[in-house]
Chain A
Amino acid sequence: MNDMITFYINLQCKLISRKLKRLGVNPVLGVVLFSIAFILFSFMLFYKMEISAYVYTGIAVVSIFSINSSQRLGFLKEICGHTLWKIRLLENIAVAIPFCLFLLYQTAYVFSLVIFLFSIILAFTPIMRQHSVRLPTPYFHRPFEFIIGFRKYLLLVLFSLFLMLMAYKSDNMNLGLFSIVIHFGIILSYLGFLEPSNYITIYNKSSKGFLIEKIKTTILYTSVSIFPTAVIQLITFPTSAIPLLFIILIGLLILIYFLICKYSNYPDVMSLPHTILFITSIFLPILLFYTVPLYWKKSRQKINHLLQ
C-alpha cells in the first residue's frame, strides 16, 4: 500500500505541475512564488490584525475543507476503498502543516494544535454527499453563479459575518470594513466559476446584451449580499460611512471589471499573464484605459461566437 501512496504523491505533483503550466508559469517558479506569497500574506495578516490567529485558523480550516469535496473523495474512494483514510490524512496534514508552523512561530500554540487535530479528525469523517443537504440561498433563480457560489463558499460567508461580529464586540471599525472587503473577495470567487457553454447559448441576446445582463445582476445581487453587513457597520460605526461607500463602489467596479475580463479567454480560465495584468491595472488605474476596451472587445468576440 506504501507503493500506492508514493504513486499518488508523484501523481499529485504531476497534476499541480500541469495546472501551473496551464496558467502559463514554470512549475518550479510557481511553487517558489506561491510559497513566498503565503509567507508574506501570513506576516501581513499578523502585522495588521488583532485577531489574526482566529482569521488565520479560519483560512486554514477552509483550505483543508476545499480538498475534501464529496466528488473528489467519491472518486478516490471508488479506487482506494477502505484505505482512502491514508490519502485523506496525508493530504489534510500536508495542507495544515504550513499554517501550523507559522502559528507555532507566532507562539499561537493552541490554534496550531486545533488546526492539526482538525486535519486529522476530518480524515476519518464520512464523505458528505452533496445531495444529502439542499441549502437555501438568499438569491432567486437567475444568477446561478451566486447560488452555486453561496452554497460552495458558505463557510467563507459565515467567516466574514464572524469577522463583523468580532469588529462589533472589539469596537474595531477597521475590522468591520475588512470583513466587507472579504465579502467582496468571496463574491469575486463566485464569479470566477466558468459556466459550460450551454449556460451562455440559452440567452436570446447579443454579446453586449449578455454582458450587460451579467453586470446588472452582479450589481443587484452583490448589493443584496453586502447590505446586512454594511448596515451593521453603519449603525455600529457611523463615522465609517465614507470609507464604507468607497469600498462598496470600488468593490463593485472591480467585480464588473472582472466579469468583462473573465469571458475574454473563454472557455479557458484567465492565464497568469492576464491575471497579472488584471491585478496590476487595479493598482495602476491608468492601465484601465487600455485593458477595459481590450477585454470588452475580446469577451464580446468569444460570446458572439457562441450566441451566433
Chain B
Amino acid sequence: MIEIKNLSKSYGANKVLKGINITFNPGHIYGIVGVNGAGKTTLFHCIAGLEDFLGKIETGSKNLHQETAFLSTNPYFLDRLTGREYLQFICHAQGIESPNFDTRNIFQLPLDEYASQYSTGMKKKLALLGVLLQKKNNFILDEPFNGVDIQSNLVITEIIQKLKQTGKTTLISSHIFSTLSELCDSILLLENGAFSRIVDKLEFKSLEQEMKSTVLGNDIDLLELDY
C-alpha cells in the first residue's frame, strides 16, 4: 500500500506537485495520465524515494526505497556496463542472491553486451528485469511500453497482471490509453500538480472521449500540414 498525505514538490519557484492526498491499495493497478510535464515522473520519483519532498508518503517501511521498485522512463546505464553486470549490481545492492540470469532472461536480451548500446526497447526490458529482481511490494512503472516491440508488450502486460494477482501495488504511466484501460483498475488524471479526476473501469470510455475532445480541438490545423 502507498499512502500519500499532502505531497508537494517544487523546483525553485515552479510548484510541480501541490498537496496530493491519495491511497494506492495492494492488488490494484493504477494508471496515471497527464500531459507532458504534468508531474507524473516527479510524483514517481517522490514515491520511490529518489527526490526530497514536503508531506508524507507511507509504504509500510521507514525507507521508501526499501518497499518500492521503480522503472524509469529512459533507463540510464553506466558506459561500458554489460546487461549481466547491471543485474548483478542490483542483486549486490539489494542484498539478494544472484539468480541464474540466463533462465530469467525472458526477453532474450544479449546480457553480455554493453547496456548503454542497447536499443531503447532493450534498455527498457533490461531495466524491467532489474525491477522485477528486487522482490518489492510496490511497483512504479514509468511508461513501461515505451519503445518496446509488440511481443514484449504482451509479455509486459502479462507481468503487470501477475503483479496484481500476487497482491502488489502497481502504478503505471503511459500515453497509450488503450493499454491503460485494458490493464488498470483506476485511472488518475494529473493536472496542475494535483489529481483532477479519479476514474474507475466503467468510466474509462467516457474519460477517453473527454480527453480527445479537449486535447484535439482545432490545434492540428495550426501545423499547416495541407501544404
Assess whether A129 is interfacial by the CB under 8 Å rule: yes
Interface residues of A in 77-101 (CB under 8 A from B): 77-83
Question: Bound state CA distance, A81 and B70, in angstroms?
Answer: 11
- Asked if B92 and A7 make an inter-chain contact with CB atoms under 8 angstroms apart, the answer reads yes
Chain A: number of interface residues, binned into ranges: 20 to 34
On whether A126 and B52 interact (CB within 8 A), knowing A7-B88, A79-B93, A81-B63, the answer reads: yes
**A132 close to B11 (CB less than 8 A):** yes
- Cα distance A230–B52 when bound, in Å? 44
Select one of A4, A129, A131 contacting B93, CB under 8 A: A4
Residues of chain B lying within 8 A (CB to CB) of residue A15? 78-81
Contact with A along B60-102 (1 / 0, CB 8 A): 0001011000101000111111000100111011110000000
**Known contacts A78-B70, A82-B63; is A129 also within 8 Å of B11 by CB?**
yes
Which chain A positions have C-beta within 8 A of B78? Answer: 15, 72, 75
Given A4-B92, A11-B81, A15-B81, A132-B65 contact (CB < 8 Å): no
- Indicate if the CB atoms of B12 and A132 lie closer than 8 Å: yes
Main secondary structure of the interface of A (DSSP, over half): helix
Q: How far is the CA of A13 from the CA of B30 in the complex (A)?
A: 41
Q: Assess whether B79 is in contact with A19, with CB atoms less than 8 Å apart.
A: yes
The smallest beta-carbon distance between B25 and chain A, in angstroms, is: 24
Shortest distance between the CB of A12 and any CB in chain B (Å): 9
Q: Which of A11-41 contact B (CB under 8 A)?
A: 11, 14-15, 18-19, 22
**A80 to B63, alpha carbons, bound, how many Å?**
12
Query: Contact flags (1/0) for B159-179 with A, using CB distance below 8 Å?
Result: 000000000000000000000
Expressed in whole angstroms, the Cα–Cα distance for A78 and B86 within the complex equals 12
Within 8 A of B (CB), among A126-142: 126, 129, 131-133
By a CB distance below 8 angstroms, the chain A residues around B92 are 3-4, 7-8
Cβ-defined partner of A75 (8 Å) among B52, B77, B94:
B77
Interface centre among B78, B81, B92, B94 (most CB of A within 10 A): B92
Chain B's closest residue to A19 (CB) is B80
- Selected from B12, B49, B51, B70, the residue in CB contact (under 8 A) with A133 is B12
A58 within 8 A of B: no
Residues from chain A with a CB closer than 8 A to the CB of B52 are 126
Q: Which residues of A contact B85 (CB under 8 A)?
A: 11, 14
Which partner residue on chain A sits nearest B81 by CB separation? A15
In the bound complex, residues from chain A placing their C-beta under 8 Å from that of B48 are 78
Residue numbers in B under 8 Å from A80 (CB-CB): 93
Which chain B residues border A206 with CB–CB below 8 Å? Answer: none
Q: Given A11-B85, A126-B52, are A79 and B90 neighbors across the interface (CB < 8 Å)?
A: yes
* B93 neighbours in A (Cβ, 8 Å): 4, 79-81, 83
Q: How far is the CB of B49 from chain A (nearest CB, A)?
A: 6
Closest A residue by C-beta to B51: A129
Cα-based distance from A133 to B92 in the complex (angstroms): 34
Interface residues of B in 137-161 (CB under 8 A from A): none
Report if B198 contacts A (CB, 8 A): no
CA distance A97 to B57 in the complex (A): 39
- The chain A residue with its CB closest to the CB of B127 is A78
- With A81-B66, A131-B11 known as contacts, the answer to whether A74 contacts B80 (CB < 8 A) is no
Decide: A82 and B50 in contact? CB cutoff 8 A. Answer: no
New contact pairs (13) apart from A18-B80, A133-B12, CB-CB < 8 Å:
A7-B89, A7-B92, A8-B89, A11-B81, A15-B78, A19-B80, A72-B76, A75-B76, A75-B77, A75-B78, A81-B65, A81-B66, A132-B12
Residues of A within 8 A of B (CB): 1, 3-4, 7-8, 11, 14-15, 18-19, 22, 71-72, 74-75, 77-83, 126, 129, 131-133
Which 7 pairs show the lowest CB-CB distances between chains A and B?
A81-B65, A18-B80, A7-B92, A132-B11, A4-B92, A75-B76, A80-B93
7 contacts between A and B (CB under 8 A): A11-B85, A22-B80, A74-B50, A78-B72, A79-B89, A79-B94, A82-B49
